[in-house]
């Protein structure tokens, strides 16, 4: 049995380019971003001090989100912390589209 489980996020049309949605799975909150019709998922918890990344400013052209608490920037494609005060990357997750639904592969809980 796989250690991952597919979790439904929403219909493709409900996550237009430039938008973000949060899906909760057990004790994990995941932010799913649409950057110019490419989909990315990262843990919705800043590695500096747990800020909710989905509530931060999102630049879909640069694929960068800024933490709303102290402004650290993350590359949503890789999870890399681009600016201080964060320096540890956020976890990233695979995103797929099946039958018009966006799904993320998350650890089984």
What residues between 49 and 78 interact with ligand FES by CB under 6 A?
Answer: 49-51, 67, 69-72
Task: Say whether 21 sits in a helix, a strand or coil.
Answer: strand
Interface with ligand FES, residue 21, by CB under 6 A: no
Task: Look up residue 81 and give its DSSP letter.
Answer: B
> What is the nearest approach in angstroms of ligand FES to the Cβ of residue 88?
11
Exposed / middle / buried, residue 105 (Cβ in 10 Å: 0-12, 13-18, 19+)? middle
Stretch that binds ligand FES, among 1-9, 33-41, 43-51, 57-65 (CB under 6 A): 43-51
Task: Say whether 99 sits in a helix, a strand or coil.
Answer: coil
Residues that bind ligand FES (CB under 6 A): 46, 48-51, 67, 69-72, 85-86
């Amino acid at each position: 049995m796989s250690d991952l489980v597919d979790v439904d996020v929403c219909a493709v049309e409900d996550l237009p380019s430039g938008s973000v949605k949060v899906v909760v799975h057990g004790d994990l909150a995941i932010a799913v971003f649409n950057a110019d019709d490419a989909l990315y998922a990262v843990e919705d918890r800043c590695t500096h001090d747990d800020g909710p990344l989905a509530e931060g400013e999102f630049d879909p052209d640069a694929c960068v989100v800024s933490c709303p608490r102290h402004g650290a920037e993350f590359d949503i494609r890789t999870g890399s912390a681009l600016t201080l005060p964060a320096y540890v990357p956020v976890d990233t997750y695979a995103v797929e589209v099946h039958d018009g639904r966006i799904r993320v592969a998350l650890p089984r809980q």
